[in-house]
């Protein structure tokens, strides 16, 4: 199941870094960026998280929160957030409930071996809980700027 622009964002409720909890209902009335990444503290995921952290003031000026989600348990997520001083919530989706709801838990292949994992994806969700924009199979370089440009158009 693929989630596209115009779709209602699926509900989720997950524990997040810093003792927080994140949910669609908790964001009600406020637009936000929800991004899924495969694994905490790996090169691509670190680069992506740091790019979002760096752009946080600009996203904040647009009234947007950022939430990162991975299937990692909380201890590695907390360590990752602390190591790179990531201030936005990083959520733990060990049950893959949010990943499945957003269609990002997919079959992948590396060196001929098939396995299940997170497809790096980002969703821009508007204040009404609708998906304003969706990016699948995200390439990290320049992605935060691309999301920021789309967010600026939300008005």
Looking at the DSSP bridge assignments, the partners of residue 130 are 8
DSSP 8-class letter at 63: T
Res. 141: pLDDT tops 80? yes
Q: Given the structure tokens 């001083």, which residue do they identify?
A: 85
Q: Which helix (H) or strand (E) holds 114?
A: strand 113-118
Res. 117: pLDDT tops 80? yes
Average pLDDT over residues 85-90: 97
pLDDT of residue 40: 92
- What is the rounded distance in angstroms from the CA atom of residue 154 to the CA atom of residue 85? 28
Name the pLDDT band for 49 (thresholds 50, 70, 90).
very high
> Of the listed 3, 33, 34, 45, which one is catalytic?
45
Residue 131: CA atoms inside 13 Å, Cβ hemisphere, count?
19
Average pLDDT over residues 102-125: 93
Domains of the chain, each with CATH number or no CATH:
29-152 (3.40.30.10)
Calculate the alpha carbon distances from 84 to 46, 89, 144 in Å.
8, 13, 17
Question: Could you tell me which residues come within 8 angstroms of residue 93 by beta carbon, excluding any fewer than 6 positions away?
Answer: 12, 14, 69, 70, 71, 99
Q: Has 50 been annotated as catalytic? A: no
Average pLDDT, the chain: 94
Q: What ranges in 1-96 are assigned the alpha helix state H?
A: 43-61, 74-83
Question: Could you tell me which residues come within 8 angstroms of residue 154 by beta carbon, excluding any fewer than 6 positions away?
Answer: 31, 62, 124, 126, 132
pTM: 0.94
């Amino acid at each position: 199941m693929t989630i596209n622009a115009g779709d209602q964002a699926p509900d989720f409720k997950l524990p997040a870094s810093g003792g927080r909890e994140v949910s669609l209902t908790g964001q009600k009335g406020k637009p936000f960026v929800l991004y899924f990444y495969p694994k905490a503290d790996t090169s691509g995921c670190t680069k992506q998280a740091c790019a979002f952290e760096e752009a946080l003031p600009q996203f904040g000026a647009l009234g947007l929160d950022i939430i990162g989600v991975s299937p990692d348990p909380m201890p590695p997520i907390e360590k990752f957030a602390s190591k790179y001083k990531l201030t936005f919530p990083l959520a733990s989706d060990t049950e893959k409930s949010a990943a499945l709801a957003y269609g990002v838990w997919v079959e992948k292949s590396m060196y001929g071996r098939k396995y299940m994992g997170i497809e790096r994806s980002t969703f821009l969700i508007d204040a009404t809980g609708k998906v304003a924009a969706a990016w699948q199979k995200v390439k990290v370089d320049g992605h935060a700027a691309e999301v920021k440009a789309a967010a600026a158009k939300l008005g």
